[in-house]
Structure 1
């Protein structure tokens, strides 16, 4: 079940749950956040942040206690938020290059590996950037869900 933050203060509180679990994040700034509950407990938090008007781009960050949070319906709803409600033309994510699980998850749901930013997360810790465009989402299983 997706529980959307009702306002900016609640979004900041929900996003803090994710920030505490993502080593390279201290806070997200202005954002929209959703908690994904499983069996009455927070299983994951998805934070949409870093909105850029010019390119209509939106960054997404995810922290999870278990991989079981990511049902098809949940993923479809979260991607629908980014492309329909927020109006993004591109949704992107940055993760450490040694976080193989996150990279595999993102590419597995249709994000394309786009770039590597050297030393973004410190010495010898590069960032892998993945993204999905509105058109890719529309043609995917998620755009038809």
Structure 2
């Protein structure tokens, strides 16, 4: 397993998410600019206030994407012996990269999924080593591998 390739794949995914969030925010702001060539009425003003509220709602995903990118860039992806940030773990036959939450992605023909350190599954497995078990959602999970 090439952890550098995993890190690069995660960075590419987060870069895409960040760019999409930036574009959505910029597109919305551009579309919601008032047309100052016409007289404004009360309804126009009300719509502008509503647009400003919606725009602020788009700031949250943008900030989340920026935060995820910063966390990802700060993680040490060196070899691990316990479940911690930067570890690649296998549980239930599935592989997870402890970093930021992602959709499943493939590297070297193997499917991985990013797991956030705020995920309940991570909290259940945190600090465990290969062969250890933990309880999660009423089930026993086994840490099959940690790299």
TM range (shorter): under 0.3
Q: Provide TM-score, normalisation by structure 2.
A: 0.24
Flag the structure with higher strand content.
Answer: 1
Higher relative contact order (CA 8 A, sep 6+): 2
Larger Rg: 2
